[in-house]
Structures are given as C-alpha cells and as structure tokens.
Amino acid sequence: MAKTYDYLFKLLLIGDSGVGKTSILFRFSEDAFNISFISTIGIDFKIRTIDLDGKKVKLQIWDTAGQERFRTITTAYYRGSMGIMLVYDVTNEKSFENIKNWIRNIEENASADVEKMILGNKCDLDSKRQVSKERGEQLAVEYQIKFVETSAKDSLNVEYAFYTLARDIKAKMEKKQEASNPPGARGGTHQLKANDQQRKPPSWLSRCSIL
Amino acid sequence: MDDDLPTDFQVIVVGTGMVESIVAAACSRIGKNVLHLDSSDHYGGLWASYNFDGLQKFIKEVSEDPKRQEQVYNLSEKWYIEKDVSEEAEENKTDADPAKKIWSQTKFAAEYRKFNIDMTPKLLFSRGPLVELLISSNIARYAEFRCVTRVLTWLDDRLMPVPCSRADVFATDSVSILEKRQLMKMLTAIVGNTEEEMEQEFKDWNDKPFKDYLTHKGLTPNLIHYVLFAIAGGTDKMNCRDGVKESKKFLMSLGRYGNTPFLWPMYGSGELPQCFCRLCAVFGGVYCLNRPIDKVEHKVVDEGKSIVVIESKSKTLNCDHLVIGINECPKDLISPEPTESTDISKAVFITNASIMPSEKEPLTLLRFPSLDGGDHAVTVLEVGPATGSCPKGLFVVYMITSKVTDAENDLMPYAQRIFDMNADQTETTEKPKCLWSVFYNVRDTSAPVASLVDNVHLCSGPDSGLDFDRAVEQAEQIFKKICPGEEFLPRAPDPEEIVFEDDAAPGPDFERTLEDEEEQKPEE
C-alpha cells in the first residue's frame, strides 16, 4: 500500500483527569465537541493528516485511557512519542500545579528530545477562572516550552496548538537529518500486523529441496 | 485521591504480571468492569523491566527489605569498573580508539534512563501463541519488536552459529555437504510430516531420549548438537516427544519476520504486560499502583451469591471475581501448598562488546549445553542498544538456568567462557569485558496453583522457559472460568473504525455505554 503521508508523528496528551484532553482530541480530529462526553472509554488514539509546507504530516494523537487518574501511565505509553501536549484546566488550580509533576514524569519516561507544549484549556469559562493567563505564560517560560490557552468548546487555538507542535517536531527532525545520517536506531523494528505473511508455510517447505 | 476510587467491581485483578495483565485486558475488553491494582509503584512485578536507577532500588529492596521481594534471594551485585574515570585514562584511550568509551559507575548512573533491564527476559516465537494473540487482539499496536538475528551454541569450546534457515544451512561451512543433506532431511521431516506419519515414525521413540533418536537416524555428533541443544533447546535427557515438539515449534516460526524464529520486545519484556494493561484501560479498566492489599475475604451475600471483599489502605473493595498473582496472594487462600519445584538461577551482565562481533548489531540467543554434562542447559540472551536495553557501546546479557547450588556458582563458569571478568577496559582482549553483573535466585512460582475459593483465581509467576506461552495459556484458562462462553480478546477496533456522532449511540464494537456500566455493577 502506498504511503499517504511524508511524516508520521506520535503525539501524546497528558494532564490531570477532567482538564479536557479528550475534548481537545475530538475538536482537532473530528471538529466536534460533545459536552456529555465525560470519560475516555474506548479512545485509544485519533489520527489526522495535516499539510505542513507542502508535506503531508500524519498525526497520531494518543489519549491517556484514564491511566492519568491515579498516576499509572505506563512507560510503554511514552515510547516513541515525538510531541506531548501538557494540558491543564484554567478553572482548576490543582491541575495547573500538577503540570510540574507531569513534566517530571515526562522527563523520567519520554525521550529526552521530545517536543512539549502547555495548553491552558477551558479558557471560555472566564467566570470560573482560577489560573490567569500570565501564570501559564510564566510557567512556560520557566520550562522554555511554548504555551497557549485553548477552548475545545469554542474551537479556540486547538488547531494552532497542534500545527505549532507538529511544525516544531518537523523542524527538529529535518535539522537532525541534515546534521547526520543516523544509523537508524529505530529502523529494523517490527510492528506486528495481521497481514505479515499470513500463514505462509515456513521456508523449509515453501521451496522444493534441491539437495 | 484515594476517595475517588469506586468500591464495586465485577473483576478485581491484583498484580500486574503477565498473566494478571492478560486476564485484566480480556475481561475489560468484553465489557467487565475491572479494577487493576499492584502493591508496588510500577508495572510488571517479577516480569518488570527496570532502568538502571530502578534496578538499583530493586537490588536495595531485596537486600534491605527481603519481605517485599521474598521470591528473590542469593542476590549479589558486582562492579568491574571504577567509580570514576580519571581524565588521563580517558585521554589516553581517546587516542587509541575513539569509538570505545571508558565506562565508569558514574557514567552508568548518568545514562540510567537508557537501560531497560528485564527481570524476566523472554522471546516470542514468530508464530507462537503470544504473537498470534497480539495480532488478533490488535494489542500489537502498542509494542514494537526486533528479530533475533542469530542462534549460537557452545561447541568444541567455542561459540558457533547454528544454521537456522535453509539459506543458513547452505551458507555454513561448519557442516559438510553430506551433513547438510542429513540435516535438511531431518528438519523437513519434522515440519512436513502429517500427524499419522509422525505417530508412525515416533511410536517406539516417544519416551526414549531424543538424542538416541537423532543418533539412530545417523546424524553426526555436530548435527545432533545443533538439533538437540540449539533447535530443540534440550539436554541429553530430553525425551523424543518433547524434542520433536520443540523442534517443530522452532521450525514453524521460521520465515515470518527474520532469519531466526524469535522476536524480542523493544525496551524489554516488561513492556508486554503494560500493553495488555493499556487495552484494559482503553476499555474502561481502572488502574491503581502502590496499592497493597491487607486482607481478602470471601462472603456469601443475599441469594447465595458469593463475593470477594478486599481491604486495601483502609478501604473496602468488593468484586465478583478476584484474580491475584501468586506473590500478592495471602497464603491462607492458596490450596494446596505449592509443590516443591526447582528454583531458577539468573544473572545479568553488562559488557562493552558483543560475545561474537558482527557487522550489524546482533541480537543473540545462545544455547549453552551443560558444561559438566549435567541436565541443566543455560539460556543466554544478548541484547544491544538498538533494542532500547542499554546506551550505545554496551550490551546486556541475560543468563537463565535451573538452580543447582546458587546463581553465582551455577552461572559463573559459563560467564567466564564468554566474558573477560577481570580485564582492564583499556586492554584489548578477545572477549568482551564484563563491566557489571548481578546474580540472583528466584523461586519458581510458575506451577499452576488452585485457590480455596471458587471466585479467587491465582496467577502463576514467571517460568524459566524461553517464551510466554505458558502465561498466555493460563490467562486464557482463567478468563474462560470468569467469563464462560465469551470470546478471549476479540480484535479491538482501529481508531478509524470508531465513528462518534453527537447524540448517537456509539458504534457496534462498543456495546457499553455509560448507562450500561451502571447496570453492570454488582448488586449490593
């Protein structure tokens, strides 16, 4: 099957329960917002292919599957991720404070050069706001990470956030490729698929013996 | 945070080892309401992989708090390198061979995250039950694998590659043309014969030694060695029935992914239980680590319905079925006492080169026949940086055998054959230098054990076998007991197949809505 994209990026959404990770994911991948959607059941990841400077970039965006609730995200979740959206809820102080803990978690488990971005979600709920935009910006400066306030409900800045993160990953990747032709540490790995030479008899039998 | 935890579940799983995790995923997948706990702060129990820091904590725990890790004993860790490298030594070395790094304990610590060291290193047969299950359930998307690039054996006091594929048999110059013909004939017969032909061929041989059969067939000593030790993974005493079964398994898995029948999970075997946990979570399973259980009680409630009640951190949790790892289970629930079995001797080495250098980074299975002619072969796995097991310039080598005296005594003679155990890193030697090692024994808790209570299901600990087949088999049996008649891990849909519409019912693959979940809670 012909590849329908130039790049495939694995992105993660991370942050406390209820900050709107799944809503952000749905806003970006389906352009939908369903207020009754309160849990992540059944959501593994979503895919959207975007166009960046003439290149087709396939974004595979993974959700936490609720494993953030008791801080039990598997190390396997972080493997191979190239970008991470750290999400807090501007109406929930605690979720903002926990961003630091999530960054520590990322540093422990994700690749050292993973691109990160902080999102202050639910910025449409101004009357309930507990975290000012300035504090979000300040935190981002502290960690030297990009920051934007988003509203999955009003579709504010969600596109912008994913495009920004993807562009940063692409730039980093192209820079790396120019600098050196790495011996492909990630090459040669297998993802097992149903059509892997399905039920083909082993090589002992597939050819007639000339011995 | 603890207060958020619901108290009623259909299935509670305690322990995140391989068997427990597969059962958790299978139950959650068909709509059971699952809580999955572990007493420790990480996934995997004795099946875990650790980075170097985590490994140091594990080692410390074994020596300082043996109760927490009561399955592990006789542990001895040893460094063969300095704490720090002097600037001078480093400079001298840089001149000599810039590619080689002089390692120190400090440098290991600095790169601790690049290590993923397995407590239970295992391989997957390319057509074995775990590979098939990962594919059929769609859990394969959470993991990546690398092919084992070669199988080695120890023959005539040196390492020898074992010809695995047909191409290998042709290419090798270690066997003669005549031998090649014999070997092909033997292997083709093992794979190609029908059940009846097999029955006919082996009816007088089944309980006799496989070695005698191979001798009877006129194989030369070299070929017998390859087939018996490397392909069948046996010993002199292996009977013919097992020998043929194991050889067939090996041969049937050839030609799917690489040159050998084996796959190794990227970042170590400890990733695999986590993949099943992820699926469980995706289908609504609730996860809680660092959650020791204090008490398990069996209760009969209204209408003779029996439930299991667990006390954990002064919270009471109820479930219809409890699935619990043998190492987490209160002893009074286990019946009968586990039978005496041979414990396992294990070792991990970190070295500065491969045991047999090759052009491309190798991934090696070495089957070491017993050096003293005894009944215990040693399985050796060597993995390099491309597997995510260690930083560049290093290799991790695992050794596993049955315990005779203790891990160090059992395995040191083998280590000395393939490593330089004392050399200075700056010297050039033929064998790779061992930079660090740990030897330990593990109690073999892999025998299936029954519980005293019908709705408490015990999961075995890791076995010393090469693959995960026993774990998969046991998990399926437990699942069938809990959910009779239900499909074991049906294929999870791909994200593209899930169509969400506002105010519409979820797609056909997701029969569970939030309301359903409420209804499924056990009646109180």
pLDDT digits 0-9 by tens, B144-184: 999 999 999 999 999 999 988 777 877 888 888 888 888 88
Cβ contacts of residue A182 below 8 Å, gap of 6+? Answer: A176
A78: closest chain B residue by CA: B142
pLDDT at B132 over 60: yes
pLDDT tens digits, one per residue of B49-93: 999 999 999 999 998 988 878 899 999 999 999 998 876 666 555
| CB contact (8 A) between residue B255 and residue A206 | yes
pLDDT tens digits, one per residue of A141-188: 999 999 999 999 999 999 999 999 999 999 999 988 877 654 444 567
A44 closest CB neighbour out of B167, B188, B282: B282
Task: Spell out which residues of chain B touch residue A197, defining contact as CB-CB under 8 Å.
Answer: 255-256
| CB contact (8 A) between residue A74 and residue B43 | yes
The ranges of chain B annotated as CATH 3.30.519.10 are 66-87+98-114+342-442
Domain count, chain A: 1
pLDDT tens digits, one per residue of B81-102: 999 887 666 655 554 554 568 8
The ranges of chain B annotated as CATH 3.50.50.60 are 1-51+269-338+446-488
pLDDT at A41 over 60: yes
A105 and A116 in contact (C-beta within 8 Å)? no
Q: Residue B499 has what pLDDT?
A: 56
Boundaries of domain holding A158: 7-178
B278 closest CB neighbour out of A74, A80, A209: A74
Average of per-residue pLDDT across B508-514: 34
How far does the CA of residue B413 sit from the closest CA of chain A (Å)? 34
How far does the CA of residue A48 sit from the closest CA of chain B (Å)? 10
| B171 compared with B271, residue with greater pLDDT | B271
Q: What percent of chain A is predicted at pLDDT more than 70? A: 83
How far does the CA of residue B80 sit from the closest CA of chain A (Å)? 27
Q: What percent of chain B is predicted at pLDDT more than 70? A: 90
| CB contact (8 A) between residue B495 and residue A45 | yes
pLDDT at A197 over 90: no
> How far apart (Å, rounded) are the C-alpha atoms in residues B229 and B359?
26
Task: Spell out which residues of chain B touch residue A185, defining contact as CB-CB under 8 Å.
Answer: 385-386
Pick left, alpha or beta for residue B37 (phi over 0 → left; psi -120 to 50 → alpha; otherwise beta): beta
CATH label of the domain that carries residue A91: 3.40.50.300
Q: Residue B93 has what pLDDT?
A: 53
- Residue A12 located in a structural domain: yes
User: Which residue is listed with tokens 């502290």?
Assistant: A142
pLDDT tens digits, one per residue of B447-487: 888 888 889 999 999 999 999 999 999 999 999 999 999 99
DSSP state of A91: T
How far does the CA of residue B312 sit from the closest CA of chain A (Å)? 15
pLDDT at B508 over 60: no
Place A33 in a pLDDT band, splitting at 50, 70 and 90.
Answer: confident
pLDDT tens digits, one per residue of B421-455: 986 777 778 899 999 999 999 999 888 888 888 89
- Residue A132 located in a structural domain: yes
Single-letter residue type at A137: E
pLDDT at B318 over 70: yes
Q: Is A94 on the interface with B (CB under 8 A)?
A: no
Which one of 3.10.20.740, 2.60.40.3880, 3.30.470.20, 3.30.519.10 gives the CATH number of domain B66-87+98-114+342-442?
Answer: 3.30.519.10
B316 and B66 in contact (C-beta within 8 Å)? no
Q: Residue B327 has what pLDDT?
A: 87
Q: In a mutagenesis test of the A interface, which of B248, B256, B468, B517 is the best target, namely the one with the most A β-carbons within 10 Å? A: B256
Task: Read off the tokens for A114.
Answer: 């993973």
How far does the CA of residue B84 sit from the closest CA of chain A (Å)? 24
| CB contact (8 A) between residue B278 and residue A194 | no
The DSSP element (H or E) to which A78 belongs, if any, is helix A75-78
The interface predicted TM-score of the complex, written ipTM, equals 0.89
Task: Spell out which residues of chain B touch residue A200, defining contact as CB-CB under 8 Å.
Answer: 255-256
Q: Are strands B344-351 and B434-442 parallel, antiparallel or unpaired?
A: antiparallel
Average of per-residue pLDDT across B107-131: 96
pLDDT at B521 over 50: no
How far does the CA of residue A129 sit from the closest CA of chain B (Å)? 23
pLDDT tens digits, one per residue of B361-374: 999 999 999 998 88
| CB contact (8 A) between residue B286 and residue A197 | no
Q: Is A77 on the interface with B (CB under 8 A)?
A: yes
pTM of the model: 0.91
Distances from the Cα of B8 to the Cα of A98, B32, B309, angstroms: 28, 12, 10
Query: How does the average pLDDT of chain B come out, rounded?
Result: 88
Tell which CATH architecture fits domain B1-51+269-338+446-488. Answer: 3-Layer(bba) Sandwich (3.50)
Q: In a mutagenesis test of the B interface, which of A4, A41, A196, A205 is the best target, namely the one with the most B β-carbons within 10 Å? A: A41
| Burial of B416 per CB tally in 10 Å (0-12, 13-18, 19+) | middle
Cis peptide before B369 (omega within 30 of 0): no
DSSP state of A36: T
- Residue A141 located in a structural domain: yes
Q: Is A72 on the interface with B (CB under 8 A)?
A: yes
Distances from the Cα of B371 to the Cα of B5, B154, B203, B230, B441, angstroms: 54, 9, 32, 15, 20
Task: Spell out which residues of chain B touch residue A70, defining contact as CB-CB under 8 Å.
Answer: 1, 4-5, 286-289
Q: Residue B3 has what pLDDT?
A: 58
Q: In a mutagenesis test of the A interface, which of B266, B390, B392, B501 is the best target, namely the one with the most A β-carbons within 10 Å? A: B266
Distances from the Cα of B355 to the Cα of B58, B97, B233, B397, angstroms: 27, 19, 20, 9
Average of per-residue pLDDT across B204-210: 90
Average of per-residue pLDDT across A101-130: 95
Single-letter residue type at B157: D
End-to-end CA distance of chain A: 37
pLDDT at B338 over 70: no
Q: What percent of chain B is predicted at pLDDT more than 90? A: 67
Q: Lowest-pLDDT range, B204-213, B232-241, B286-295, B502-511?
A: B502-511
The two counts, helices (H) then strands (E), for chain B are 15, 22
DSSP state of B316: E
Average of per-residue pLDDT across B257-276: 94
> How far apart (Å, rounded) are the C-alpha atoms in residues B524 and B522?
6
Task: Spell out which residues of chain B touch residue A205, defining contact as CB-CB under 8 Å.
Answer: 188, 191-192
Q: Residue B438 has what pLDDT?
A: 98
Query: How does the average pLDDT of chain A come out, rounded?
Result: 86
